[in-house]
Amino acid sequence: MDISFILNELGEERPRHYGAVTPPLYQNSNFCFASIQDMREALVSELDNPFYTRGNNPTVEVLRKKIAALEGAEDALIFASGSAAIAAAVMSCVQGGDHVVCVAKPYSWTAKLLGKMLSRYGVESSFIDGRETENWERAIRPNTRLFMLESPNSMTFELQDIPAVTAIAKAHGIHTILDNSYASPLNQNPLAMGVDIVCHSASKYLSGHSDMVAGVLASSRSRVEKIFDSEFMTLGGIISPHDAWLMIRGLRTLAIRMERVAQTTPVIVDFLANHPKVEQVIYPHHPSFPQYELAQKQQKAPSGQFTVLLKAEKIEQVEAFCDALQRFLIACSWGGYESLIYPVCVLYSSGNYSETPLPWNMVRFYIGLEEKEVLLADLEQALEKL
Ligand SMILES: *Cc1c(COP(=O)(O)O)cnc(C)c1O
């Protein structure tokens, strides 16, 4: 199935909707039936039939088909946030007394889920340097049930050798989940590399317009059924039909957005890597990156996120640089049309995150859809203020 077909046609069944070229928004909680028999038939599988919107909604169903196809999965589930999708995936794999092995610096709320929440229910987690494949093997205990991967992770972009790590997991009967938000399903398909469940924050590339929060997971039909019947329906962290409709709209341009980002980001990274006020760039697709070759092998094209370590003596210089940028917004998140910076110095002395081990001269960049010349000129003038 080609990408254009998935993004523009799959699951839309236009003849059923008067030929509407855009799927209608089913903004309803409830569905009614002409007879007891009809209702009974729908209830046989709430995953497949519109019955009540927490389970199935026709607008959300379009998305399920597209996300599954993009990841080469049998089925997918759509959630209210990436964190909800990750939590449901993780909880479906473990129970009290189990042990999880996770990459050292996963997404912050994944770290909290494993390290602070599930530990209350008797699930223990070890956080390891996932770059070395043997570390995964070494961390296995008799009760290890899950490997939690994120390749690459945010801020420092460490990769895992996905086929090698999933081979170890399979040999020991261990489940694997991978957070694939950074690469998007266009640039990396973890299921084809042996991963059991792939998750995304759809608030990022999949929706792509910074106008909604959502998450997805994609997996085999049997895993999706199992998650649907327990975590999905019980915790109920579902996307609204309206946000699903927005995500379908965002997906139309996923391929051209990713193409644009793959063209501009390496140019901007090169500029920064050669700038005297930059100590280091951390970008999986820059030759200076220690796992550059693995990134080339596992990801089809470069993504739009990287980190820079600035040459600065004090935190005020970093702040002056960040404040001087005109075209990069100072914000968290990423994956929209707009370029962003997320400076680590903001975490210093901010209550919720102050335990960060990351250095204050580190700034994460996200490259949006602006012309590269505009962004380069902005960086040039702001670096003079550093
Ligand atoms: C943003 C993000 C998440 C969480 O997604 P939300 O949609 O914000 O809940 C998870 N993983 C990664 C890598 C992210 O960037």
Contact yes or no for 322/381 (Cβ under 8 A): no
Pocket test for ligand 1, best of 67, 78, 79, 83 (most atoms within 8 A of CB): 83
The single-letter code of the amino acid at 133 is T
Chain segment 102-146, per-residue pLDDT in tens: 999 999 999 999 999 999 999 999 999 999 999 999 999 999 999
Q: Residue 354: its pLDDT value, please? A: 58
Q: Report, as an integer, the average pLDDT of 9-24.
A: 96
Q: Could you give the CA distance from residue 86 to residue 141 in angstroms, rounded to a whole number?
A: 23
Together in a domain, 274 and 171: no
Average predicted confidence (pLDDT) for the chain: 97
3-state secondary structure of 177: strand
Interval 33-83: pLDDT, tens: 999 999 999 999 999 999 999 999 999 999 999 999 999 999 999 999 999
Per-residue pLDDT at 352: 59
Q: What is the pLDDT of residue 357?
A: 81
- Among the candidates 209, 230, 251, a domain finishes at 251
Same domain, 304 and 203: no
* 274 and 307 inside one domain: yes
Whether residues 235 and 311 fall in one domain: no
Same domain, yes or no, for 302 and 212? no
For ligand 1, atom 1, the nearest C-alpha belongs to: 201
From CA 345, how far away is CA 318, in angstroms rounded? 8
Helix pair angle (315-324, 372-384), 10° resolution: 140
pLDDT band at 197 (very low <50, low <70, confident <90, very high): very high
Q: How far is the CA of 109 from the centre of ligand 1 (A)?
A: 8
Q: Which of residues 209, 224, 251 is at a domain's end?
A: 251
pLDDT of residue 347: 86
Kind of pairing, strands 75-79 and 215-219? Answer: antiparallel
CATH number at residue 103: 3.40.640.10
Asked whether residue 103 falls in the same domain as residue 146, the answer is yes
Domains identified in the chain, total number: 2
For residues 179 and 263, state if they share a domain: no
Query: For 326, left (φ over 0), alpha (ψ -120 to 50), or beta?
Result: alpha
CB crowding 289-317: b at 16 or more within 10 Å, else e: bebeebbeebbebbbbbbbbbbebeeeeb
Ligand 1 atom closest to residue 202's alpha carbon, by position in its atom list = 7
Q: Containing domain of residue 266, as a range?
A: 254-383
Q: What is the 3-state secondary structure (H, E, C) of 309-342?
A: EECCCCHHHHHHHHHHCCCCEECCCCCCCCCEEE
> Which residues fall within 8 angstroms of residue 352, CB to CB, at 6 or more apart?
none
Asked whether the beta carbons of 178 and 149 are under 8 A apart, the reply is yes
Of the three residues 196, 227, 251, the one that is the final residue of a domain is 251
| Same domain? 204 vs 70 | yes
Q: Indicate if 303 and 316 belong to the same structural domain.
A: yes
Cβ(301)–Cβ(185) under 8 Å? no
Residues 233 and 297 in one domain: no
Do 207 and 327 share a domain, yes or no?
A: no
How many Å lie between the centroid of ligand 1 and the Cα of residue 181? 7
DSSP 230: I
pLDDT of 330: 97
User: Both 283 and 160 in a single domain?
Assistant: no
Binding site membership of 201 for ligand 1 (Cβ less than 6 Å): yes
- Residue 372: which CATH number? 3.90.1150.10
Average pLDDT over residues 233-249: 98
If you measure from the C-alpha of residue 322 to the centroid of ligand 1, how many angstroms do you get, rounded to a whole number? 23
